[in-house]
């Protein structure tokens, strides 16, 4: 396949000039084309009421995806230039909400809210609706075909994969990100049981303070500043706060299992992303998500 080598001039992220500077031949057995295409709208008459910007791309409202002709909507690359397919799907999703509201004669700018529901996964004193074993097993390497074999047969699968038992064991490493630690400050009696049991030292009860200084006073210093800390309301007994470094938490649930007052709980979060026609719905989250 012959590729042209190009040079571009860019302004505000857009190509303003381009030229071919050479060629490169890449030998291939098969070629699968998976490339984006330029936006081109010569087929839209310019007197329809759809305004175009200086790049000849339709002017589109970033929230509603409505063009300047109110019954015409755009999404994907056609709306805001090249993005990936996931954005195109999201644009279609949002445009569908707008079209539905438009046909109902409703406001397009009032968007239905996304919601999060939390529900406890506790099923008994030591039983949870998810697998939460804290295992200190070393990470297992995926077995490979020996080098000797690989040199003998170059077209064989190199990774042998895990057997079902090993695969099941490895899957236990899942951090269960959909299950959150949820803390209720008013229930905490500051017994320190959760602090003692946490296998990764991500919980601390201490006096509140400025974040930068607070980060240095935790049981395990929180050095990843891009990860916000959870800081609870003041605890009843001493006015100190419960702090959690989510960056370390492995969602094992031991804090919730150990806590005598259920101040810590493990709750599954279910996110509802709005669809066209969804009614107004408020966020049902009542407890704090740590
Ligand atoms: S769930 Fe997180 S905070 Fe609770 S004990 Fe396990 S690692 Fe610690
Ligand atoms: S175990 Fe429960 S009551 Fe004890 S300090 Fe932790 S959250 Fe508070």
From atom 7 of ligand 1, which residue's Cα is the shortest distance away? 249
210 CA → ligand 2 middle, Å:
23
Question: Where are the domains positioned within the chain?
Answer: 1-110, 119-135+175-289, 138-171
Judge if the beta carbon of residue 79 lies within 6 A of ligand 1.
Answer: no
Over the stretch 155-184, which tens digit does the pLDDT of each residue have?
Answer: 889 999 999 998 988 888 888 889 999 999
Judge if the beta carbon of residue 179 lies within 6 A of ligand 2.
Answer: no
> SS3 string of the chain?
CEEEEEEEEEECCEEEEEEEEEEEECCCCCCCCCCCCCCCCCCCCCCCCCCECCCCCECECCCCCEECCCCCECCCHHHHCCCCHHHHHHHHHHHHHHHHHHHCCCCCCCCCCCEEEEEECEEECCEECCCCCCCCCCCCCCCECCHHHHHHCCCCCCECCCCHHHHHHHHCCCCCCCEEEEECHHHCCCCCHHHHHCCCCCEEEECCCCHHHHHHHCCCCCCCCCCCCEECCCCCCCCCEEEECCCCCCCCCHHHHHCCCCCEEEEEEEEECCCCCCCCCCCCCCCEEC
249 CA → ligand 2 middle, Å:
16
Is pTM beyond 0.75? Reply is: no
Q: Could you identify the atom of ligand 2 that is nearest to the CA of residue 192?
A: 5
Phi, psi of 284 (to 5 degrees): -90, 0
94 CA → ligand 2 middle, Å:
43
Phi, psi of 194 (to 5 degrees): -70, -35
Strand partners, 11: 14
- Arithmetic mean of pLDDT, 71-83: 88
- Arithmetic mean of pLDDT, 223-232: 92
Q: How confident is the model at residue 35 (pLDDT cuts 50, 70, 90)?
A: low
Over the stretch 80-96, which tens digit does the pLDDT of each residue have?
Answer: 887 888 999 999 999 99
- Arithmetic mean of pLDDT, 22-29: 94
Q: How confident is the model at residue 262 (pLDDT cuts 50, 70, 90)?
A: very high
Q: Are 191 and 203 in contact (CB under 8 A)?
A: no
Q: How confident is the model at residue 258 (pLDDT cuts 50, 70, 90)?
A: very high
From the CA of 183, the nearest ligand is: 2
Q: Which CATH architecture has domain 119-135+175-289?
A: 2-Layer Sandwich (3.30)
Of 184, 195, 199, the C-alpha closest to 249 is 199
Query: CA 163, 168, 171, 173 torsion: positive or negative?
Result: negative
Strand partners, 282: none
Q: What local confidence, expressed as pLDDT, does residue 290 receive?
A: 46
């Amino acid at each position: 396949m012959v590729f042209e080598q190009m040079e571009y001039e860019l302004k505000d992220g857009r190509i303003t000039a381009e030229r071919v500077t050479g060629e490169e031949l890449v030998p291939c057995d098969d070629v699968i084309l998976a490339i984006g295409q330029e936006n081109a709208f010569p087929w839209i008459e310019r007197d329809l009421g759809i305004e175009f910007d200086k790049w000849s791309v339709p002017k589109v409202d970033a929230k509603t995806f409505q063009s300047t002709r109110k019954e015409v909507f755009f999404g994907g690359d056609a709306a805001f230039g090249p993005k990936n397919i996931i954005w195109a799907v999201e644009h279609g999703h949002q445009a569908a909400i707008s079209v539905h509201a438009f046909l109902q004669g409703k406001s397009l700018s009032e968007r239905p809210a996304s919601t999060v529901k939390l529900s406890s996964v506790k099923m008994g004193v030591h039983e949870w609706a998810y697998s939460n074993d804290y295992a200190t097993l070393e990470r297992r390497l995926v077995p490979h075909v020996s080098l000797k074999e690989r040199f003998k047969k170059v077209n064989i699968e190199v990774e042998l994969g895990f057997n079902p038992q090993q695969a099941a064991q490895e899957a236990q490493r899942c951090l269960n990100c959909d299950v959150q630690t949820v803390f209720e400050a008013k229930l905490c009696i500051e017994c320190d049981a959760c602090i003692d049991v946490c296998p990764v030292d991500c919980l601390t009860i201490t006096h509140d303070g400025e974040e930068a200084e607070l980060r240095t006073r935790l049981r395990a210093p929180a050095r990843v500043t891009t990860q916000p800390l959870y800081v609870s309301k003041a605890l009843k007994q001493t006015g100190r706060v419960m702090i959690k470094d989510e960056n370390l938490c492995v969602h094992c649930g031991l804090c919730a299992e150990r806590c005598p007052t259920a101040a810590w709980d493990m709750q599954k979060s279910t996110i509802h992303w709005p669809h066209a026609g969804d009614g107004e719905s408020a966020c049902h989250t009542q407890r704090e998500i740590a």
